Structure 1
Amino acid sequence: MRLGVFPAAALGTLGFLPIQALASDILKTDGFESCLENSDIKVDRVSFLYDRSISQASFDLAGTSPKEEDVIISLVIYAYGKEVYKKDFDPCIAGSNVEQLCPVPAGNFVAQGVQSVPAQFASQIPSIAFSIPDLEGEAKLELKAKDSGNSVACIQSAVSNGRSLEVRAVSYVAAGMAGAALAMSGASAFSAVGVGHSAVSASSTGPSFGAVLGWFHTLATSGMLSVDYPAVYRSFSKNFAFSTGLIPWNSMQTSIDNFRNRTGGNLTDNSFAFLRQASLAYEDGTIINASSVAKRAVDLLGPVHLVPRDDSSANGTGDGSSDGGIQHMVKGIQGYVEQLSIPQANTFMTILLIFAIVVAAITVGILLTKVVLEVWALYGRFPDKLTDFRKDYWGLLTRTLTNLILLLYGIWTLYCVFQFTRGDSWAAKLLAAVTLVIFTSVLAFFTFRIWQLARKYKKTEGDTSVLFENREVWRKYSLFYDSYKKDYWWIFVPVIFYTFIRGVIIAAGDGHGLAQSAGQFVIEALMLALLLWHRPYETKSSQWINISIQAVRVLSVACVLVFVEELGISKTTKTATGIALIAIQSTLTAVLAILIAVNAIITCIRENPHARRQREAEKLNRDLDNLTPLDARNSLLMEHRSSKDDDFQEMSKFNTTGPYEPYRDQAPRKSRHAPTESTDRLISADSFDRQHTRSPSRDSRESRSHSPSLDGRKSDLPSYGLAH
């Protein structure tokens, strides 16, 4: 098999991906189906395994024949739609002798054995076929009558090499990344508890929990579109299904089936029991046994290591039943969820129950912490930072659940719309509608409340800085905008609309890959343009982290467009594009993991910039309240003059004995006696009032009349100036 420059380079990147398997250099068939109607010979079982390390091929073939017949065996192997090996051999001659098929006996027959493969034939199989994960290969075995050359039996089977990107360890590492990001956000929140800041702060050096979870949502939903994915990308995307709430749980699926059965659901071919007996067939010919995959995925207590895919876990049935057993055609969201042994009609109820478990765990955790603090208060003194938590634990619970709704809103919209279009239980549809309305109402209420406060402060204060500086406002609402600059607090509104529209496009467009891909590309590109134009994030690290994530989202959707069937792109190019996409997405994921580790250190020495400004402002205001007129700090050299500073200067204008503004610079008029023009002892009342002077006492007048001036003369006129 010859590859172009781009496909070869893309396939070469697999060497840098974390792929390990215990499989050796083998090729094997998984499952089978007949490719000849009304064949003379009926095949009941077939398996083939070639081990390159020892140049041997083992086979197992069983079936029935109405008569004894001499045959020629023709074997053709395809990889990614291209023929890579072809050979005809006679089971009755030396070197390819198969005694049980020489000739094919009448009635039941079984042919088993091991044969050596000559080097000239083994060299025809490309080496890459043994190393590339999730190999998309196919073997076609045809039995031809020796006398007439007509085909008497034909079977085709998928070929795999035992390697796959569907690795349990990847899910564990991704879950650990999300947990570490949550822990870092929690550490930031705990450090801010004393000043009433939000429960989750995104203004940090590393990626926030919301950014990491949102990226994992992208990786998962990228595998849900109704396009012709290469098998390697389908397996990679499946590793992140847990982030969207799709966790295989056999007993849960059985309970949901029972619930659907009592509320109008149809379990005939849409139930957990059905999936355990069926094989999922994708449009590209890949066949997956969903039950075996679910068994491995739910085995959380097993050892964490990578194993080769067994006969029943990938591209086959593994039960040896005729024609491969029950084959269930799937694609899109259905194909994504049912490979986890979650029937498509059970999808919404699955994430609803997982969400309920998470909410219960959060509630119990917060209330238990409250109980611990109360007991602690009875027998000792706990840190001051925990005082606010003790007093406002209900508020913390409310804000935490609101933040959870904000993080899951896009995914929740996707599954609710999918339930409306693909679900069969009226009760499940009702629950989907109620929860979607509740989630939307919660976000709409907070959005309206924040807008109302911003509008109010814009009119009264001239800007919206109070959203960040007022302790009570920050504590209640900052989870929506704490990662943004003050002038871009409103960015969270288009972000909410973005997640909503994205979920609707994926779910409502299920079955229409081109519409899904094009619509998602437009919405992702618009969000990238918004972020590039405004650059709304508070810290530079947050700027480039979030913009980089969004740029990779746009690039990912552009790559997914290659998989659209209507474009007619070759399977080799699709696989190469899928591998290149995996490399890009894996690189960004690794970068996020490194940044989380770095953030674990920096979080300890750096605080939320909004929190720092708020604390500095409060400290300055407290200092200004204690200033005296002679305080050295009361000077023009002080920075960050506040409104209280201006009020202090305004009040000092009253501490004068001269005219008040705007008459201070005008000379006082002398009151004269009209007939004599004398000024002796004649001072008018209105002039006295304008001068803001006090009536001098007798001692004061005598002292002023007898005390000399600075130049030795007696003062004979009243003077005015500043009172000291």
Structure 2
Amino acid sequence: MKSPISSLICLLLALLPAASAEEMLFSSSLNPCQQNNNFSATQFDVTLTPSNNSLSFSVVGVSTIQGYVRIDLKVFAYGLNVYETTINPCDDDLDGLCPMSEGQISLPTSNVDIPGDSLSQVPNIAYTVPDLDARVQAYFIRTETNESAACVEAELSNGKTVDQKGVAWTLAVMSGLALVASAITSGLGHSNTAAHVAAMALGLFSYFQAQAFIGMTGVNLPPIVASWTQNFQWSMGIIQVGFIQDIATWYQRSTGGTPSTILSSLATTSVEVQKRSVEPMMQLMKRAADGLTHQLIARSNAGSGDGSDTANSVVIHGIERVGFRAQIEITNIFMTGYIFFVIFVMFVVIGVVIFKLICELLVRMGKMKGDKFQDFRNGWTTVLKGILFRIVLIGFPQMVVLCFWEFTRNDSGAEMVLAVFTIFIMLATLAWASSKVVRLARRSIAMHKNPAYILYSDPVSLNKWGFLYVQFKATAYYFIVPVLVYVLVKGLFVALAQDNGNVQAIALVVIEAAFLILVCVMRPYMDKKTNAFNISISVINFLSAIFLLVFTEIFDQPGIVTGVMGVIFFVYNAVFSLVLLIIVLIASIVAIFAKNPDTRYQPMRDDRGSFIKSQSQLTTELDALGATARGEPKHGYYSKAGARIEDDDDSLSGGSLNPSRMQSQQTSYQGAGYTSMDASSGRHFPPSYQTKDGLASPLDNSRAGSMTSTQNRYRQPTGSPSPWQRGAGYE
């Protein structure tokens, strides 16, 4: 049974920092493992050092056991009973345990020699595998009756873990650099490259958040899985910063809440992750705690005496486990994530403003050409709006989980108000923005027989709403709707089903399977490479959901199966994360430093690049005169007059399909350089709207009949085939 684990050791060690030269096992917490327990510990430190065959321990606890006992020790590694031994306190001169008596027990640091043949029974993987899934159980057996008077359990560790701050920071920095690279590339005019880098960056970020979701579920995860997913909790705003914690605690206390004190009471409180093996006892402990801690923690009296000397045991799982591992008080988790989201928004706004000022200063000083970042400088407020919308989209999974989870917590009245307003405003914003994209695309189909025409030729629409559709091909402009529904439903199960890990795991399997099938069938992203990139992420997310279902032990599999699958989960996700990071890093570097990065990518089959470039082709005097006659400024696209294409009063609702209005709008677009009557002028006819069967938007089918006559009436004159018309029948 050791071979599946041993075969993974080399790969694991290659991904981890250098380990300590001395092998040892240690534990610093002790938890009850049977009901009617007669022994509890407020301090427990034990270290097994095989190099000198010694077991060092120090225990301070409370006992209600009287008489002589023996201690039966059992060591479990990955569900296997790998070691057993019996200790007689009288033979080993353990003061206070021979015999045992009621009251306080204090065992100073002591050393016990362990026979070499006994140590040889401990497998070598116990000293090498990170986040060791091992525990030791100690049964106090009365020698007179041979009954178990108490059972305590300690989690063993070898000091190695895959939860590394360096890994988390690297992932965060790489994601941020990819987003910055896409923004800079877009400002330099490389729209094709910018769209690809942005799509990969968003896909990478969504994968990180999916990993964080796994760690936030209420399932009892193997230690290596819990540690690995902890590396991604920064994507949910779970970041420990001292003054942020002070602000969160002050805000909660000043608004009528009661902060938890788990981290400050570790000397007298034993913290344990919920386990199926002790589930009945843990449920009793949790019910006893509800009225005392507002469902923050589960407490139980470890002793069965008069209750004068007791120790607290705290059971945590899911989001509470994530916060505790990040050294954040449970009642501060929501405010921590919320504060970091607000800080992120503020830094982005300040960064855009500073970049705008720097660009203008460099141009005035002659240090930068006037055509550099010209679109951004002329319409930076519109660009800023689009960036803020993009931030809302990125932070949507985070706020769905934290806000809906806060509804079940009610840490304070003010925090509940923040959660309600934040999540419903974000939902309304994204829903409205998505409907806006749908309306623009449908108007483009009605007027130009192509959804890409208005979506990409109008800079206001592109800069403000492009974050919702640039990663998709033109015929799948509506796919942002199922993506938002997917994130919302997934986040609701993670947030609201914290007390039932089985429900969460089953729901995630169904959700990930449905989304994977949808992506594979529709292939909605802009090209084959982007489709492959995102489909691979969906495959890994679905596979992770299956592993999560196994971790619930719903199949009653042997413990070794759960342990080995935990190690496999870490290995394949670590390799996949590394591959994604390399791909995104290379794409970002090329995007910034290559002279013409667009040559790395084939032109989109919807010819969006041609539509975008048509904005800058107003070079003739006739074009200038036409713009002046219409009352447009030089860069009128960014002015209120130039934003006419995406104004609400121009939508398909109401009287927007009035023929005279559509005719005047179409004439206006032609005069603005969007279309041309012949190829000799350097501009072209828009491509026709052609799709394969099944790829047309379901949102358009209901209006197809009513719009046919309108489309025929305003169809452009035919002539020689335009270059835009070649290959415009989207894949």
Alignment match of 1:419 (pick from 406, 425, 442) = 406
- Mapped to 2, the partners of 1:52 and 1:393 lie a distance apart of 65
User: Is contact 1:71-1:90 (8 Å) kept?
Assistant: yes
Q: CA deviation at 1:150?
A: 6.7
SS at match of 2:472: coil
SS at match of 2:26: strand
Alignment match of 2:588 (pick from 590, 600, 617) = 600
Query: Gaps spanning 5+ residues in structure 2: where?
Result: 279-307, 624-676, 688-715, 721-731
Deviations, residues 179-202 of structure 1 (Å, cap 9, x unaligned): 332232233222228xxx69x943
SS at match of 2:215: coil
Q: Which residue of 2 aligns with 1:223?
A: 215
Alignment match of 1:454 (pick from 415, 438, 441) = 441
- Mapped to 2, the partners of 1:447 and 1:75 lie a distance apart of 61
Alignment match of 2:340 (pick from 350, 354, 369) = 354
Return closer, same or farther for 1:484/1:92 CA change in 2, 3 Å cut-off: closer
User: Is contact 1:217-1:243 (8 Å) kept?
Assistant: yes
Q: Which residue of 2 aligns with 1:333?
A: 319
Q: CA deviation at 1:357?
A: 1.0
Q: Which residue of 2 aligns with 1:685?
A: none
- Mapped to 2, the partners of 1:101 and 1:76 lie a distance apart of 22
Q: CA deviation at 1:158?
A: 2.5
Q: Which residue of 2 aligns with 1:124?
A: 121
Q: CA deviation at 1:265?
A: 2.2
Q: CA deviation at 1:354?
A: 0.9
Q: Which residue of 2 aligns with 1:283?
A: 274
Return closer, same or farther for 1:447/1:285 CA change in 2, 3 Å cut-off: closer
User: Is contact 1:137-1:158 (8 Å) kept?
Assistant: yes
Alignment match of 2:75 (pick from 70, 74, 77) = 77
- Mapped to 2, the partners of 1:100 and 1:648 lie a distance apart of 101
- Mapped to 2, the partners of 1:352 and 1:37 lie a distance apart of 40
Compute the TM-score of the two structures, normalised by the length of structure 2. 0.72
- Given residue 597 of structure 1, which amino acid in structure 2 is its aligned partner? L
- Given residue 595 of structure 1, which amino acid in structure 2 is its aligned partner? I
Q: Which residue of 2 aligns with 1:163?
A: 160
User: Is contact 1:7-1:576 (8 Å) kept?
Assistant: yes
- Mapped to 1, the partners of 2:100 and 2:47 lie a distance apart of 24
Q: CA deviation at 1:458?
A: 1.2
- Mapped to 1, the partners of 2:410 and 2:89 lie a distance apart of 53
- Given residue 238 of structure 1, which amino acid in structure 2 is its aligned partner? Q
Return closer, same or farther for 1:284/1:405 CA change in 2, 3 Å cut-off: same
- Mapped to 1, the partners of 2:18 and 2:616 lie a distance apart of 57
Q: Which residue of 2 aligns with 1:642?
A: 685
User: Is contact 2:451-2:474 (8 Å) kept?
Assistant: yes
Return closer, same or farther for 1:324/1:202 CA change in 2, 3 Å cut-off: farther
Q: Which of the two has higher C-alpha Rg?
A: 1
Q: Which residue of 2 aligns with 1:368?
A: 354
Q: CA deviation at 1:176?
A: 2.5
Aligned 1:696-707 pairs, distance under 5 A = none
Q: CA deviation at 1:234?
A: 0.7
Is the counterpart of residue 528 in structure 1 residue 521 in structure 2?
Answer: no
Q: CA deviation at 1:548?
A: 0.3
SS at match of 2:411: coil
Return closer, same or farther for 1:338/1:117 CA change in 2, 3 Å cut-off: closer
- Given residue 232 of structure 1, which amino acid in structure 2 is its aligned partner? I
Deviations, residues 297-345 of structure 1 (Å, cap 9, x unaligned): xxxxxxxxxxxxxxxxxxxxxxxxx999532112222222233233444
Is the counterpart of residue 245 in structure 1 residue 245 in structure 2?
Answer: no
- Mapped to 2, the partners of 1:66 and 1:513 lie a distance apart of 35
Is the counterpart of residue 14 in structure 1 residue 5 in structure 2?
Answer: no
Q: Which residue of 1 aligns with 2:176?
A: 179
Return closer, same or farther for 1:410/1:102 CA change in 2, 3 Å cut-off: closer
Q: CA deviation at 1:249?
A: 2.4
- Given residue 170 of structure 2, which amino acid in structure 1 is its aligned partner? V
- Given residue 282 of structure 1, which amino acid in structure 2 is its aligned partner? V
Q: Which residue of 2 aligns with 1:577?
A: 565
- Mapped to 1, the partners of 2:583 and 2:165 lie a distance apart of 23
User: Is contact 1:347-1:419 (8 Å) kept?
Assistant: no
Q: CA deviation at 1:104?
A: 5.5
Query: Gaps spanning 5+ residues in structure 1: where?
Result: 288-321, 627-633, 651-724
Greater CA deviation, 160-169 or 466-475? 466-475
Q: CA deviation at 1:504?
A: 1.5
SS at match of 1:31: coil
Compute the TM-score of the two structures, normalised by the length of structure 1. 0.73
Q: CA deviation at 1:279?
A: 4.0
- Mapped to 1, the partners of 2:621 and 2:522 lie a distance apart of 36
Greater CA deviation, 49-58 or 573-582? 49-58
- Given residue 358 of structure 2, which amino acid in structure 1 is its aligned partner? V
| Number of matched pairs | 598
User: Is contact 1:166-1:239 (8 Å) kept?
Assistant: yes
Alignment match of 2:246 (pick from 254, 266, 270) = 254
Q: Quick one: percent identity of the two aligned structures?
A: 24
- Mapped to 2, the partners of 1:241 and 1:18 lie a distance apart of 19
- Given residue 353 of structure 1, which amino acid in structure 2 is its aligned partner? I
